[in-house]
Structure 1
Amino acid sequence: MPNVETRHAIDPVSAKSFDTQSLRQHFHVDGLFVPGTLKLVYTHYDRMMLGSAVPTDKDIVLEHVAETGTPGVLDRREMGVLNIGEAGTITVDGTTYEVGAGEVLYIGRGAGPITFSAPGRYYILSAPAHHTYPTKLIKIADARRVELGSAETANERVIIQFLHPEVCESCQLLMGYTQFAPGSVWNTMPAHRHDRRMEAYLYFDLSEEQRVFHFMGEPDETRHIVIANEEAIISPPWSIHSGAGTGAYTFCWAMAGDNVDFTDMDMVPMETLR
């Protein structure tokens, strides 16, 4: 059975009173990517589930998660899996996919069981689904690339979109990752919110000494959480989500909610941030 933790939704008024420990307890996810283990975090934000699987000499099989209330984990869900390690294989309904480093496997509703094989390090995201779309392996060359920012503003980066309407059909799960050029550290500034969707972030490709300062909260009540390599953040719909690192890094973003419009954002003017 997988190790599953439940995170309940927090409203912005309550979040204003949180100290550092409380912020981390509700929004920060650590302890991911432990060899030989499967860890899942089931959230009450649009029922998004995130987690990790790190198979070693034994495969890891994901089939039943009691928190979903269904016999199979994907009976009423879809899933995206990003491999942040060496090339490995994922087997779904008897079909085996070789998932290279930085590649994403989309798994449609109703599929399963799902078998993760070494030597990959798999980041797992799942959201409820109302329709079955085909399971699809998405190579980096097939993803949509958006280059933004500049070295002068320390935010030169490329957004690589995998679960995006122009790349792979999905019900509500959007997913990809953003890579920063050397010397660039700022992401998503000016900040934005989208009350129609929640987000989750995995920060990776950091050295042992590096940290990312993830900014969250309502625009006039911002807070921060310090993130180390391969740690994640659950971002509520009412919160901004921005960050600055002590060096370049990569972060995987995923969204679930009312639509799959990547540009559905409520921009926050810089002068309103506090």
Structure 2
Amino acid sequence: MEIRYATNPTETKTYDTERLRQEYLIEGLFVPGKLNLVYSHVDRFITGGAVPTTEPVLLEADKHDMGADYFLERREIGIINVGAQGIVTVDGTDYVLENKDGLYVGLGNKQVVFKSADAANPARFYLSSTPAHKNYPTQKVAISEAEPQHLGSITNSNERTIYKYIHLNGIQSCQLVMGMTLLKPGNMWNTMPCHTHNRRSEVYFYFDMPEDGVVFHLMGEPTETRHVVVRNEQAIISPSWSIHSGVGTSNYTFIWAMAGENQEFSDMDAVAMKDLK
């Protein structure tokens, strides 16, 4: 498990491109037959990917870094499948996830195993985990069951649908809030006009992008913006003081996960376009 330490805005504004990528960009999440995890000290997020092929992949705790006997001893996790059909087995119970289906697994579940229905066309499980203080029931939500919210317009190149999976009016959790945003064809902008939410941090995971496509992800304080070039199936950490927005070379999809002081989806500090620098 890779460890990332928290940074501050005063220091971040001095980073060059390589340092920005080292601190915030998460690459190489999906490796066939492997579980890859990145532990960030920003709200103690763990972001990961699992690609089971011929053998199942077990969600395991790093005893040294987590101080836990099993992964969910003091944590909860949200899982969204971005590949072919897969199965997540939680303490002996199977949950079948089609593409873009989600699953919440709460504190105290001891064994989580990832499997693919077809090893030649494997599932690709994207994982977001945060600390938890009580158990909430394990629950699956198909994308067809997730709460949709339609935003934006073709005029502003940001027509999109937000699907909420884990949130106050959906699957219950301790602090994790998680969902997915799909941009319609011909639309490239996300989360613009932008915002911060000083009470929560966020991780974006971009996917469904063409091989030669990129997203120019904007981050930093509103008056000290920076950009990071993000490619398909890469994630980026957004501390609470940072904006998190982007524009792509074509439409794309991204998963967002938040954690912090509250779970209010609308709790954000809007940034006026005239104030961006």
TM > 0.5 between the two?
yes
Aligned-pair distance for 1:240? Answer: 0.4
Please name the residue that 1:163 is paired with.
166
Is the Cα contact below 8 Å between 1:142 and 1:167 reproduced in 2?
no
Aligned-pair distance for 1:227? Answer: 0.6
In 1: Cα distance, 2:28 partner to 2:42 partner? 20
Please name the residue that 2:119 is paired with.
none
Please name the residue that 2:27 is paired with.
30
In 2: Cα distance, 1:87 partner to 1:49 partner? 23
Which of the residues 72, 75, 78 maps onto 1:74? 72
Give 3-state SS (helix, strand or coil) of 1:10's partner. coil
Aligned-pair distance for 1:53? Answer: 0.3
Aligned-pair distance for 1:32? Answer: 1.3
In 2: Cα distance, 1:154 partner to 1:63 partner? 41
In 2: Cα distance, 1:168 partner to 1:32 partner? 25
Is the Cα contact below 8 Å between 1:29 and 1:232 reproduced in 2?
yes
Please name the residue that 1:43 is paired with.
40
Please name the residue that 1:103 is paired with.
101
Please name the residue that 2:59 is paired with.
62
Structure 1 gap segments, 5+ residues each? none
Please name the residue that 1:181 is paired with.
184
Aligned-pair distance for 1:120? Answer: 1.0
Residues 1:233 and 2:236 are matched in the alignment: yes
Please name the residue that 1:116 is paired with.
114
In 2: Cα distance, 1:21 partner to 1:152 partner? 34
Aligned-pair distance for 1:113? Answer: 1.1
- Residues 56-78 of structure 1 deviation map (CA, whole Å, 9 limit, x = unaligned): 10110113222221111111110
Aligned-pair distance for 1:112? Answer: 2.1
Which of the residues 241, 246, 249 maps onto 1:246? 249
Aligned-pair distance for 1:20? Answer: 0.1
Say which is worse superposed, 57-66 or 147-156, in terms of deviation. Answer: 57-66
In 1: Cα distance, 2:234 partner to 2:143 partner? 23
Counting matched residue pairs gives 271
Give 3-state SS (helix, strand or coil) of 2:155's partner. coil
In 2: Cα distance, 1:159 partner to 1:230 partner? 18
Residues 1:218 and 2:215 are matched in the alignment: no
Which of the residues 91, 94, 99 maps onto 1:93? 91
- Residues 17-49 of structure 1 deviation map (CA, whole Å, 9 limit, x = unaligned): 000000000000101111111100001011110
In 2: Cα distance, 1:102 partner to 1:65 partner? 28
In 1: Cα distance, 2:24 partner to 2:231 partner? 14
- After the TM superposition, list the runs of 4 or more consecutive aligned residues in structure 1 that deviate by more than 2 angstroms: 63-66
In 2: Cα distance, 1:63 partner to 1:211 partner? 32
Is the Cα contact below 8 Å between 1:163 and 1:175 reproduced in 2?
yes
- Residues 143-194 of structure 1 deviation map (CA, whole Å, 9 limit, x = unaligned): 1000001111100000000001111101100001100111000011111001
Structure 2 counterpart of 1:34, which letter? Answer: V
In 2: Cα distance, 1:9 partner to 1:23 partner? 12
Give 3-state SS (helix, strand or coil) of 1:40's partner. strand
In 1: Cα distance, 2:194 partner to 2:134 partner? 32
Is the Cα contact below 8 Å between 1:92 and 1:111 reproduced in 2?
yes
Say which is worse superposed, 18-27 or 54-63, in terms of deviation. Answer: 54-63
Please name the residue that 1:264 is paired with.
267
TM-score normalised over the length of structure 1: 0.98
Aligned-pair distance for 1:139? Answer: 1.1
Structure 2 gap segments, 5+ residues each? 117-121
In 1: Cα distance, 2:70 partner to 2:196 partner? 33
RMSD of aligned Cα (Å): 0.7
